[in-house]
Structure 1
Amino acid sequence: MGWKIWKKKSTGEEEPKAKLKKLSRPKDLPQSVGQYLVVELKKDPDWVWDLKAVVRPREEGKSLYNLRVFDKYQARLRKVEVKDYISLDGHPDLILFEGWFDKARDKVQLEEKSVPEHRAA
């Protein structure tokens, strides 16, 4: 038998797993992002606080995150299961806003992708 359970794998084989970080599931909008949408972009607060966000860390800093905002009801209607940031890659029509935010400095930069007209204030 060719079992080699006592041998360690070379470090080159384990490296790809170390680089893959588990992305977080959809969550409520961060406070600073919700405020930005309501105050700066003049969106309806009732609609904004129903939206969900998926984030992934940026390489530039610990408190910087890429962000995608989507409507969970639209995703459910289209039978799309949004698990994390990457799962929206195949469904760009569901992304309402995309950008980044700095959790430590409450700085937000978002680009409007596609917003239903009846939801804008």
Structure 2
Amino acid sequence: MSHEKYRECIDACNRCANACDHCSTACLKEDNVAQMQNCIRLDMDCAAMCRFAAAAMARGSDFADRICQLCAEICEACAKECSQYDSQHCQACAQACSECAKACRSMAA
């Protein structure tokens, strides 16, 4: 079954999506919200992409490897952006994104 074959990557994608959702919401509460716009935007893109990738793997999509390649690219961009900020939510998000990118690259290889 596809969902068992890709369990590690699916789990990484779901953890990343949750971290991105938390980060974007927390960023909206920051005093400098205007400076956090790119972070929030990338968090939203990354969460959506991770959920799409997890669903594609779960259903055994023929495009799962290519979807995961794109997911890895978006996760890496989000990790880079979030790592620039000292807040705990951004640092946790950067870590989850990096782990997801690694899992997606491994799955797609």
**Normalized against structure 1, the TM-score is what?**
0.27
Larger radius of gyration between Structure 1 and Structure 2: 1
**Normalized against structure 2, the TM-score is what?**
0.28
Which structure's residues are more often strand, by fraction?
1
Which structure's residues are more often helix, by fraction?
2
